[in-house]
């Protein structure tokens, strides 16, 4: 009888540890993901540069050069997205119009509502990206603005 209680207690303690560990890991990952999402492009650049610096054992001058290149690359990609965004919107609009031909009037109305919400989110994202793009700076400045004190 005592062995049974010992095993049951051990298993319960083990399961409690696993549960607490999983919950803690989930909270940590969620916090990190939200930090990057809220920080936008600068936070992603900082995260990417930090990862490269750690994995490649970059010196300080190398890290600064890599950070500059990552930031410049993101800027060029942002411009490319801006350049092709009107065409992308047109393609999506054409696709929505084609889909609507297969739908009932009630379904069309629902699709219109969904598409309006999509456009609203897209506009908010555009504004957010433009505002973040204007605030690009040094790695430490970006880190402080988005994640707090870097060290």
* 98 in any annotated domain: yes
Q: What is residue 29's predicted lDDT score, i.e. its pLDDT?
A: 81
Query: Using an 8 Å Cβ cutoff, are 39 and 146 in contact?
Result: yes
Write out pLDDT tens, residues 84-117: 888 988 999 999 999 999 999 999 999 999 998 8
* 8 in any annotated domain: no
0.85 cut: is pTM over it? no
Domain that holds residue 21: 14-146
Half-sphere exposure (Cβ direction) of 93: Cα atoms closer than 13 Å = 7
* 54 in any annotated domain: yes
* 2 in any annotated domain: no
Task: Tell me which DSSP letter residue 6 carries.
Answer: H
Per-residue pLDDT band at 34 (split at 50, 70, 90): confident
Question: Which helix (H) or strand (E) is 122 found in, with range?
Answer: helix 105-134
Split into its structural domains, the chain has a count of 1
């Amino acid at each position: 009888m005592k062995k049974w209680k010992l095993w049951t207690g051990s298993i319960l303690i083990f399961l409690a540890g696993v549960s607490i560990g999983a919950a803690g890991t989930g909270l940590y990952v969620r916090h990190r993901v939200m930090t990057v999402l809220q920080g936008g492009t600068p936070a992603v650049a900082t995260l990417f540069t930090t990862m490269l610096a750690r994995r490649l054992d970059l010196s300080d001058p190398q890290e600064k050069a890599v950070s500059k290149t990552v930031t410049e690359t993101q800027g060029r990609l942002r411009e490319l997205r801006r350049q092709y965004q009107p065409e992308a919107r047109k393609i999506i609009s054409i696709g929505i119009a084609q889909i609507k031909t297969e739908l009932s009037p009630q379904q069309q109305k629902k699709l219109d509502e969904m598409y309006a919400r999509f456009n609203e989110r897209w506009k908010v994202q555009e504004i957010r990206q433009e505002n973040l793009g204007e605030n690009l700076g040094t790695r430490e400045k970006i880190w402080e603005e988005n994640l707090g004190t870097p060290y």
